[in-house]
Structure 1
């Protein structure tokens, strides 16, 4: 996508580059005299959030949570996309690999508002919307966790499927927490911009709220996994308990059947016409006594 001017006044110019090419990077280097090393960072899909300053250039590299569902959840690029923000005097340059809500919504807002915006205030709006994307993601993950919890405890669902969903949920939540944790330094550096203290505090508070939400979510998911495993063990123990009870019933009568199954000429009741019925009655009596004993012991 070509380099686009999203906003221009006497006080501010906003340049946006989506899916930058090497030619775009070279143009920005020559036109705005931005360090090539900083521009190269915007091409790395897995680059971590950071803040750097080079001369009059302030560089913020942030990551926005994406709704794109990935099969693999191994790196932060599977749950987020990076946005590079360059601030040069009255110019702001944003570079990103794909369409993002923070850029499109900021563009829509400033075009509908008649006020004049500075490059620093635009950077702040983008950052607030980036934090909001993580807030939305935490709400979505929490709803998913609630659905899984209901299926585990209220419905008879496939446990293998549920443990896979819980694992995936834990991976996504953990990666989001990592991105937010690493973003702390970059968010703190917004105090260097020409912004009101209350605006910077709002951004920091939003960041802290989202970090707290994901910390809570990680704890809840860990607890749910533990409860799920405990429930699975309980069900397995219940099955073993039933099998053990049947073994208690059949062990004595199996012993009697084994004794009378031995091939000896002289055995009690062997030639008695009622011996067969006597033995069956003894087996039934043992089963009844065992049942009464188990009931009294509340087994």
Structure 2
């Protein structure tokens, strides 16, 4: 999917739109926002860089939001949630990190203040789902109410999360096939790393399900979401529920895979030790006899007999055969 490109990290306003009574959009600039020019529109969507000092200053001084709301939007560590606050909602949602050179399981956060006439979204790292919805707005393919935009963002975040977890599921299938293939040798070190990645996603996807369920449950009473918006949110919540079950299944499979890999390695080690033990048992009598006859002392039996060496060799061979027969009789080999 083609997505719009966000400005550099130094820009406080990554993009913004003002919407008139008919829902038609007008792009906004940071200067217009600073001068209050966005106030003439019926509804506004501002997508800000959370790490920008200018954006933080505007939120505290000119956004019209109370200090508690701004602090919640700017705090460093968050988990997915949706909470009613006054006439709007504080919403934190997570999505896969699809930025170049990043790990997809290092989920990015999209924070939102959703009010009737103002939608503020913030991110520290680029969130492609936000630029997806931006393109829908520019192409006129989405309703521009606050509820519709929030539902669209949730839908796009869920779309991309599905792709990541389907890839995890395929990766688990591949590891299972390698373990079942006797000719394949799997690197055991990849399994703990795979499980860590799965757990990192699981840590946030479960509360994300609760956040979406909260919006579905309380959204109708707030008046912020239309029936169509709630339908999209309910669909996103159902898909997240399925993904939660999928990530639990992948987590359990990753644990079983690691245990099977350890068991397979242990069996290989035990088999090698068993072979060494058998060899030691076979050659122990030979080592004892040759050690005894190898001492440099007088009185060694057969020292002057020309057939003594051959006799000793035959006796040692019979000892080996007898030891092997005994081990076979005991079903050790």
* Correspondence for 2:118: 91
**In structure 2, how many angstroms separate the alpha carbons of the residues matched to 1:23 and 1:218?**
42
What TM-score do you get using the length of structure 2 for normalisation? 0.78
Deviations 1:187-226 (A, max 9, x none): 2221222242533321221111111111011001100100
**70 and 102 in structure 1: CA distance in 2 versus 1, 3 angstrom threshold:** closer
Deviations 1:153-174 (A, max 9, x none): 54555x6xx3332222111111
Q: Does 1:189 align with 2:211?
A: no
* Correspondence for 1:230: 263
**7 and 125 in structure 1: CA distance in 2 versus 1, 3 angstrom threshold:** farther
Deviations 1:114-164 (A, max 9, x none): 56332101101111222233222212223333444455554555x6xx333
User: Which residues of structure 1 form unaligned runs of 5+?
Assistant: 72-76
CA contact (8 A) 1:177 1:211 kept: yes
User: Which residues of structure 2 form unaligned runs of 5+?
Assistant: 1-10, 24-42, 220-224
Q: How many residues align?
A: 291
* Correspondence for 2:20: 9
Given candidates 61, 73, 94, the residue that maps to 2:92 is 61
Q: CA deviation at 1:81?
A: 1.2
Given candidates 240, 245, 260, the residue that maps to 2:293 is 260
* Correspondence for 2:303: 270
**251 and 195 in structure 1: CA distance in 2 versus 1, 3 angstrom threshold:** farther
* Correspondence for 1:49: 80
* Correspondence for 2:277: 244
* Secondary structure at 2:188 match in 1: helix
Q: CA deviation at 1:247?
A: 0.8
CA contact (8 A) 2:73 2:112 kept: no
* Correspondence for 1:74: none
Given candidates 134, 142, 153, the residue that maps to 2:169 is 142
* Correspondence for 1:165: 190
